[in-house]
Structure 1
């Protein structure tokens, strides 16, 4: 049976849904839940990569800006350079993966703290995005770049293909972490990197792979962002880094590494999405939505700290 800490995010999500269902008749509808999923699919996908990094006791502040850069690369190559859409998408994924590799190399080879490394690459990615795009939004995108934003009918409810992709990637990540040796190595490195090294786990290789995979996932998230908005926006990604960290923390993954379930990050993203959606339906100002999110993060981190003390 899952521990209480693992059940906590699910209980919080259920409680939030029950509360907002009593406040607005439109909340508890299939179409509204589909809308919530569409609203969180970009942050939810970024949160997969962020979870992998936090499980190894690191953190990535660059994810939002790297995602924005990937989206601009895809958009400009496809629209202004005449590059075939598939190749433009591949180039965007390559750029975000490269940023992940650079982050991983700086963390593993030069032993820089992940906080400092990703703070630096966040600013680099932001500058490159603005320079490459000339701070201009890219429009008139080819259909291939917006296909994941299209919807299909499921029992009378419109469901986005991007949501299906996000859920599929969560399932793959869950299987990989739960059922494979590399997945168990991620947890071992997060628990105690030195002990993992002494047992024969290639710690530096694991960390580099985690940052590279996270970078690739940010690229996929950039494609979802472009597909959802229909434009290449150089100002995208401004808050996605903090939103993704919020989702991971609310999902029960410890900021100290080594503990957490990847599906919890999806639940964490849904908690934030449900609160914002529910408060919007209630007519509450967005300022209070941000306030509630901040309170939830502090409570989640406090619970994590208390559980760690209790486990000693």
Structure 2
């Protein structure tokens, strides 16, 4: 007998994270007067758009049973490349952005090749690349923050009005990216291959999927998405900051895990990652409105991650 619609909705991977998000919103809405306002919701989305975009790429890699510890550093280097070429190099802003996107995609390509051709663990490859990207960011920037950016680099930080609420173009781009990748993963052959690769790479290979090429493609595409995150970061801050992104790798993993994607690969939804990023944003925003010190915000985020991974592990054991 076919399951009812409510039962199917409850059984989806995003049901738990969505319930947690709604409960968090309800709690903070009842305890703070400012939470349920359009301005505050717009602020939350602005605060999570960079990490949320990073988490899209992280989701792709985790779905293949990999992980990327270098995405925050790659993003920072991409932002420095864009801003330095545009300001100091005199390159047209559009070409500077394209160069930054290409550099980030290049990092992803190298990661994918090291994982597939030399069979190095993704954890080790991206841990090493974290240090490489971090060092190159500081060497290339000369430890200097880059200011006086051309308008194109800050355009996504500008706002338009929805009712009485100001919404940034960057927030809109982030939501569109989530919808695009939700479609690619859920409704295309490429998406089905990514899930198959994460579930069992050997079985995927035997069914005719070119697993090495697919893995390299996933890492490269993730790197390109990190480049978009770099542009969002630059547009939001208005500068090229060599100190940026130092904890964003862990924040992106947090969003993916809280969104219900399994760290063991093959299971999860990119819209769950959006919910996970919003959970982190809502908790930090709500606790800040309540006057809770930032160190407790970090503590609660850590507890949420442990609980999410524990639930995933228990779920895996039940399905065996």
Quickly name the TM-score band, shorter chain normalised.
over 0.9
| 2:208 pairs with 1:203 | no
Instruction: Out of 4-13 and 148-157, give the one that drifted further.
Output: 4-13
CA RMSD of aligned residues (A): 0.6
**What does residue 69 of structure 1 align with?**
77
Q: How does 1:100-249 map to 2 (within 5 A)?
A: 100-249=108-257
**What does residue 3 of structure 2 align with?**
none
User: Which 5+ residue runs of structure 1 have no aligned equivalent?
Assistant: none
- SS across alignment from 2:14: helix
- Contact 2:13-2:269 within 8 A present in 1 as well: no
Deviation at 1:4, TM superposition (A): 5.3
Match for 1:296 among 296, 300, 304?
A: 304
- Contact 2:154-2:235 within 8 A present in 1 as well: yes
**How far apart are the structure 2 equivalents of 1:5 and 1:46?**
20
- Contact 2:13-2:268 within 8 A present in 1 as well: no
Q: How does 1:42-61 map to 2 (within 5 A)?
A: 42-61=50-69
**How far apart are the structure 1 equivalents of 2:113 and 2:207?**
22
User: Which 5+ residue runs of structure 2 have no aligned equivalent?
Assistant: 1-7
Q: How does 1:79-90 map to 2 (within 5 A)?
A: 79-90=87-98
Deviation at 1:30, TM superposition (A): 1.0
**What does residue 16 of structure 2 align with?**
8
| 2:59 pairs with 1:33 | no
* TM-score, structure 2 as length reference: 0.97
**What does residue 306 of structure 1 align with?**
314
* TM-score, structure 1 as length reference: 0.99
**How far apart are the structure 2 equivalents of 1:292 and 1:171?**
29
**How far apart are the structure 2 equivalents of 1:304 and 1:223?**
33
**How far apart are the structure 2 equivalents of 1:156 and 1:283?**
26
What per-residue deviation string (whole Å, max 9, x for no partner) do you get for residues 230-269 of structure 1?
0000000111000000000000000000000110000000
- SS across alignment from 1:158: strand
Instruction: Out of 4-13 and 176-185, give the one that drifted further.
Output: 4-13
Deviation at 1:155, TM superposition (A): 1.1
**How far apart are the structure 1 equivalents of 2:87 and 2:286?**
37
How many residue pairs were aligned?
312
- Contact 2:49-2:170 within 8 A present in 1 as well: yes
